[in-house]
Amino acid sequence: MNFDQDACYAIISARDSRYDGRFFTAVKTTGIYCRPVCPARLPKRENVVFYVSAAVAQEAGFRPCLRCRPETAPDTPAWRGTSSSVGRALRLIEEGALDRGSVEQMAARLGLGDRQLRRLFLKHVGASPVSVALTRRLLLAKQLLHETDLNITQVALASGFGSIRRFNEAFQEVFKVPPSFLRREIGIEGPVVPTADIQLKLRYRPPYDWAAMADFMKARLYPGVETFDGGVYRRSLVIEGQIGLVAVSQGKGNWLDVRVKLQNLTLLPKVIARVREAFDLAADPEVIGAHLAQDEALQDLVRLRPGLRVPGAFEPFEIGVRAILGQQITVTAAIKLGATLVSYLGEALPSEWVQQAGASRLFPSAEAILASSLDFLGMPQARVRCLKAYCAAFLAQPDFFGGDTPEVVSRLRAISGIGPWTASYIALRALRDPDAFPAEDVALARGLMQADGGRPNREALEQRSQAWRPWRAYAAQHIWTELASG
């Protein structure tokens, strides 16, 4: 990979925490790779080599350090690559696409050949898709062994392994000890139970503006599906037909405390991926802020909120429904519509789950919305037709949100009633495209006018935003947040 090895050595010599997760140190004499902040004695320069990701280090034959725990490092920005296809593939891998499927199947979902996908991974990531997936599974398993009281069989299932035998073999091969050894060292072992509560720490790169994220979510809560009380965000969700509950709060360090309850432990990787997406844990605020601050109109906003994130989505389909309900009305009015939709069409949670959830219903399915007249919403018929057409299109194409941003936006625009603003907003929230930008948004134009005294229309705003690439979504979030606070 293309980065300065000597500069990396200077960074680990200083134990500079700003670079945690940006690269990993592999020690040739021990066969171990570490985070830049590892407290172990500094190795000699001639004995180390630096890798851009844990997957590349592991593919080179190094095993994770048991002391600094590479699985607890913030997400590695380099894994995002410079290819949109690689970024989409990495999101699929994080959700477990290769736990039960093949590289060929994943490549088909991306509209690529499997050889082409492998070449892209070697170019942008430095490791094969299979190696990246195996590293993800093993590091998640190690985190679960450290941070939960799950039985080892449960850990194997929750981290994406299809069998305990395969898990033991892979763990032994990489860590040189069986998982039972690590569990005995920690002193935790528990019984197998059909439904499990899992508590994890999901790390991020500081700073993190939790207050701004909390304010955004509180203003858009759909009663029945989600709550935000006592600093804890809770919600229900459905993944592959299975119910799950999630609770997220600010941790005491550079992490979010996450509690998950699942009917099916094999879905844990998908839930973790969705929490990361919803709370934008992979962002690098230092890089994003430095770029946006080059624009004088944004300098003060970036300085005021250096850790601002772009809220994502637990479920892309849900964001589409929210965006359509919110067309041409206030946020408050849109929330009332959403609450009514949930109360009429949201499936009730089992009584034993409600007490823990803080929520009582699931978000309505596309099938339920399509089958209803929606008369109870009192919306204009044009918007009712739009919502139904969106649900029909979503059901007709299993991978509706698959593909790059222009492809998905084009798919959305083909639905009568979804205009440029709605499509761009959905892309910003649901696709996690850091460069998505709803140039038609009146509030953005007003906010920028207040910032620099200009009067940008859509064309002027689009042109002005070119200087913010590839972080236009963050520029939009800064302007929106400032307007909301005023």
Q: Coil, strand or helix: which one is 246?
A: strand
Joined tokens for residue 27: 């020690």
Q: Coil, strand or helix: which one is 421?
A: helix
Are 273 and 95 in contact by the 8 Å Cβ rule? The answer is: yes
Provide φ and ψ at 50, rounded to 5°. -110, 140
Ramachandran sector of residue 209 (left: φ over 0; alpha: ψ -120 to 50; beta: rest)? beta
Q: Coil, strand or helix: which one is 221?
A: coil
Q: What is the dihedral of CA 411, 413, 417, 418, to 10 degrees?
A: 100
Q: Name the CA radius of gyration of the chain, rounded.
A: 23
Are 327 and 321 in contact by the 8 Å Cβ rule? The answer is: no
Q: Coil, strand or helix: which one is 442?
A: helix
Task: Measure the CA–CA gap between 441 and 443, rounded to whole angstroms.
Answer: 5
Known catalytic residues are 34, 441
Joined tokens for residue 278: 């919803």
Are 38 and 68 in contact by the 8 Å Cβ rule? The answer is: yes
Are 271 and 239 in contact by the 8 Å Cβ rule? The answer is: yes
Burial 316-327 (b: 16+ CB within 10 A, else e): bbbbbbbbbbbb
- Which residues contact residue 324 at a Cβ distance below 8 angstroms, ignoring those fewer than 6 apart? 383, 386, 387, 390, 417, 418, 422
Nearest by Cα to 129 from 161, 159, 105, 111: 105
